[in-house]
Amino acid sequence: MVRHNEPIVKENLRGGKGHVVFYHILEEKELMGHGSMYARVVIPPHCSIGWHQHIGNTEPYYVIKGEGIFTDNDKTQTVVRPGDICTIQCGQWHSMENNGEEDMEMIALIINEG
């Protein structure tokens, strides 16, 4: 099966700034109960995903383009670039911000706790 991927724009995601664009690689139903999201996520310049907690699931980010600031559970901030992996464990908090001048892109996968 081949399908065209339509963008989904979310404003002020998790209390973040601006908007974030999602391109779902698999829809939630296609993850067969193992997760809730598998997507390419585009964060435009000066936009962010706000501080939020993962309950009952984990989420790795794989940065594929641009640069961002990842805020980890302990509020440590780290500049992330293509090839970096940010891992959020069950129960942890995090956020991601693009404070650069070009789009930041990453692959995000939300996996349910087994």
Q: Look up residue 10 and give its amino acid.
A: K
pLDDT value of residue 8:
97
Domains of the chain by residue range: 8-112
Report the distance separating Cα 56 and Cα 20, nearest Å. Answer: 23
- 1 pLDDT more than 90: no
Q: What digits encode the pLDDT tens for the residues 57-104?
A: 999 999 999 999 999 999 999 999 999 999 999 999 999 999 999 999
Q: What digits encode the pLDDT tens for the residues 36-56?
A: 999 999 999 999 999 999 999
Residues whose CB falls within 8 Å of the CB of residue 52, separated by 6 or more in sequence, listed in order: 14, 15, 93, 94, 95
Q: Which superfamily does 8-112 belong to?
A: Jelly Rolls (2.60.120.10)
- pTM given for the model: 0.94
Q: What is the average pLDDT score of the chain?
A: 96
- 5 pLDDT more than 90: no
Report the distance separating Cα 89 and Cα 56, nearest Å. Answer: 9
